[in-house]
Amino acid sequence: METNIRVLVADDYEPFRDFVCSTLKKMPEVQVIGEVSDGMEAVQKAQELLPDLILLDIGLPTLNGIEAARRIRELSPACKILFVSANHSTEMVEAALRLGARGYLLKLDAQRELLAAVESVLQGQQFVSATLAGSHLADLSHIHAHNHAYRSQNLRTARRHEVGFFSHDGWFLEEVTYFVGKALEAGNAAIVAATESHRNSLLPRVRAYGVDIGVAVELGRYIALDAAEALSTFMVNDVPDPVRFMKTFGDLILSAAKAVKGEHRRVAIFGECVHLLWAQGNVEAVIQIEQLGNLLVNDYDVDILCGYSLDRFRGTMDGLVYQRICAEHSAVHSR
């Protein structure tokens, strides 16, 4: 591999950019020459700085990553592009690679695969996240799916345990409303463990989906509880007790499922218990609860959305913490 490789990082989420830049410092031959937060700036900096490699997100403001890559390829065809995105749809992966990108790395795999992805791309190989290695990517059999030994671990793709990081409380409520509203609209059940202000704000928004919340509550199809009180049922000395956790949520899930008609009954769970613990600085408890959430989706027919509202506590999340949280989820959303 050549030395003094110049890299441009384009992502609109600062904690993730911090994680990428700190991780790339482990490669002495690599130099990060710039960071940008929107697609138009990525195109401009690519033309100005002429990097050897661009790490490019897809969900960029101003100009999305796909269009940015198209323009960068026209302006600087020698520049290699590695997409690093939370979007795991097969169609998006195919579109990105057909555009000429050298690789596609999922953010949830970045902690363990970022360096390998960069190395593969710089060596002229194509790279696809291990999580996507088993996907049916049409006409892309020539792509190098790095380290197929990861496939046995990638049963996580069947999980429905997602996480959202929101820099504005309005976006937070918008995503949670959609998650809960669509579940109830489809006739399924929903459990919400949130702060009082979020629970109160959620109710009128969910009604926009044509859901009679009063009836849903009466039937037991909508269960709302305070996030802090929920934590008190299973936290012992600031550490989650697995047995208490599984009993608390197992009982809630079974109760909600009984209120759902039909053979294929599902329960949607939104929780911000982890957000409260993160705001308190108890990161290890956060990770343990996220791991317990994975047990729930393995044992029950549930869909889980964990929410972190960074605006509400005016906090910033450390890049490593962000990656540890992402690694426990099947999909990551940030706004």
pLDDT at 150: 26
The C-alpha atoms of residue 190 and residue 199 are separated, in whole angstroms, by: 13
Q: Is the pLDDT of residue 139 over 70?
A: no
As a whole number, mean pLDDT of residues 196-200 equals 93
The pLDDT of residue 307 is above 70: yes
pLDDT tens string 227-237: 999 999 999 99
Percent share of the chain, pLDDT over 70: 89
How far apart (Å, rounded) are the C-alpha atoms in residues 214 and 232? 27
Output DSSP code: residue 145: B
> 152 pLDDT exceeds 60?
no
| Cβ atoms 129, 107 nearer than 8 A | no
C-alpha closest to that of 235 among 284, 199, 192: 284
Reported confidence tier of residue 156, pLDDT bands at 50, 70, 90: very low
Domains of the chain (ranges; CATH) run 5-154 (3.40.50.2300), 159-334 (3.40.50.300)
**Token pair 């490019």: residue:** 56
Alpha-carbon distances of 222 from 75, 166, 227, 246, 269, rounded to whole Å: 53, 24, 15, 19, 10
The token pair that represents 6 in the structure block: 């110049």
The contacts of residue 13 (CB under 8 Å, 6+ apart) are: 57, 165, 334
Write b or e for each residue in 35-61: b if 16 or more Cβ atoms lie within 10 A of its Cβ, otherwise e. Answer: bbbbbebbbbbbeeeebbbbbbbbbbe
pLDDT tens for 71-89 read: 999 888 889 999 998 887 7
Sign of CA dihedral 8, 116, 102, 4: positive
What's the rounded mean pLDDT across residues 41-45?
95
Axis crossing angle, helix 242-258 with helix 283-299, rounded to the nearest 10: 40
Q: How far apart are CA 245 and CA 252, in angstroms?
A: 11
Q: What is the value of pTM for the model shown?
A: 0.59
